[in-house]
Structure 1
Amino acid sequence: MRRWAVGNRRRREMGLMAAGLVVAVGGVALMADTDDGGQDDRADDDSESHAMRLQNRQLADWAGGMCESVASLKTLREDGARQAADTYLKSAPAALENIARGLDAVDSLTRIPDTERFWAGYAKQVDRVRPEVMELTDGDDLADLSPSEKAGRAERVSALVAAIKEPSPGMHDLVWKDVGFERAFNSRRCVASRDPKPERPRPPLPPAADGASVAACADGVCEVRVTKPSVEIKVRDLTLDVTREGRKVTVRHSYPSGGEVRVNLSAEGARGTFGRSGDTVVTVELKGSNQSGAVLAITSSAASAPSPSAASS
């Protein structure tokens, strides 16, 4: 139904243009040349056509910049769910600054009321969350935080970014309203930002006997699926901090007397062992991983090692 309506609208515009009438596109006038034999009129038409081509080019440049900024916001939202807390807290402020600069770059390209409202809707929201994002991601403050505290900050930053919504009227409203916006939002830059190169297919995760329930590990034996960037797993009297970055899993254990053991598990079958003399010994095996999660098999037994140890393979 929409294609038919747009087609009819274009045919009506073509008829008006053939008659030498003006068609308004988003506040930008489009005028067809007339041929009445008047040299002065043709000169005026040439001048007006040049101005209109310039205005339409500026509209396309504005739409391209907006499309790229919106695509970057989408990526930043997705990063909050798939990146480890450390990585996200380091990358989010720079990404948000780049989005703000991209919005600033298109601010002066048009003065059409609809484009100004749409741009301002995004720009105000980005400016509103930037100070808090910068405060939450301050490097000096992050150095002394525990993994769980960093995860909490990453969740807060992710929530702030997720709160940036498309203004109303939105992009689809503008496209439906005016054929000029439809052309602009289907420019090469907009299409490229919406249709990136497809990602490689992710290898499926192996099944996990206990699903995503890390509470099942409390008795010392479990097989769990970890999808969050950071999670705390209690295994008998030990606490493991598990973080993910891409397909790599890092497992940490801090000892009450001080010190920390950390094991990086980056390949299927890799293992790490944690424990102390006289206490529980916990072994963590990476059963499989992809960009969306990892499956860990955890077992425990009575310790026999005389000193803290960790091993990986």
Structure 2
Amino acid sequence: MGRSRGVAVAVAGLVLAVGGCGEGGTDEKTARSSAEPKPTRSPSSSPSPSSELVEWAGDMCESTVALRNLRKESAADLKEIRDSDDETGMLAHARALGYLSTTPADVETVAGDLEAIGASGVPAADRLRDALRKKVRSVANELEARSPAVGLEYAESTVADVDKRVQSLTPPQPDLPTLAKKIPRLAAAYEQAEQCAPGWKPDGASGDGGSPAPDATGPLPKAADGRNYAACSDGVCEVLVTSTADITAKGTKVHVIVADDSITFQSGGGLMQFGGAGGEAGFGNGLKANVVAHNKDGAVLKFSRP
């Protein structure tokens, strides 16, 4: 009996020993496990875009900005034409001619830029490019058929019709920012393209070729005869015109309209318009009017005769 108890005690001790070893092993594993660095899960990130895709996104954003600026400028021009308050209506007509001479070319430029953009490799993005191309090309073709030489009574309505078409040049939906939110690779390219940054503006540098127009940005030179238009009666004078003026030079009556970006001469049934600061208007009796300088403050004109 005593043996049986001893055996039982021995067995119990063995069980405890075994149990103790088991617990000690578990603690040792736990300590070792906690001491070892645990693998961390890298956060999900957008795949790095190719330089070609970044360039593609930038070109698309640049065209989108160009269209937005074109819509804004067109609306401002239409308002300016409607607000022209000269009694003859020639100021509105001159501004309308200027608008109709430049706007179709501006739309054509954007259309050409879009057609030069290749494939992105992102199907949804390429569908957006194709849809925008089609929209801008359609409007460009419609405007190309219009003649800028419209009659005075049709000037405002023609500009209003062109402006309506320009205002339609908005990006199809979903647009590029919307697509970028759904496609990580496109989102990364969109973020890296500088033209897609908020507030980005295209370079204001002038194009190549030709010298800049004289005094286009600086102060106007002093006109020898100031605003004394009567000095032009013999056909020789140098005068300042800041808005409109009626000048009779060597028996020829000339109505002059000076806008920020154009100068218009009307004499008899003829109408001549010049953009920028340069230009020479010729009249039937040999009288000429040269633009000496022109900026937002007005124009200095020099009349001469043979």
TM class, shorter-length: 0.3 to 0.5
Higher strand content, 1 or 2: 1
| TM-score normalised over the length of structure 2 | 0.44
Give the alignment's TM-score, normalised by structure 1: 0.43
Computing the radius of gyration from Cα coordinates, the structure with the larger value is 2
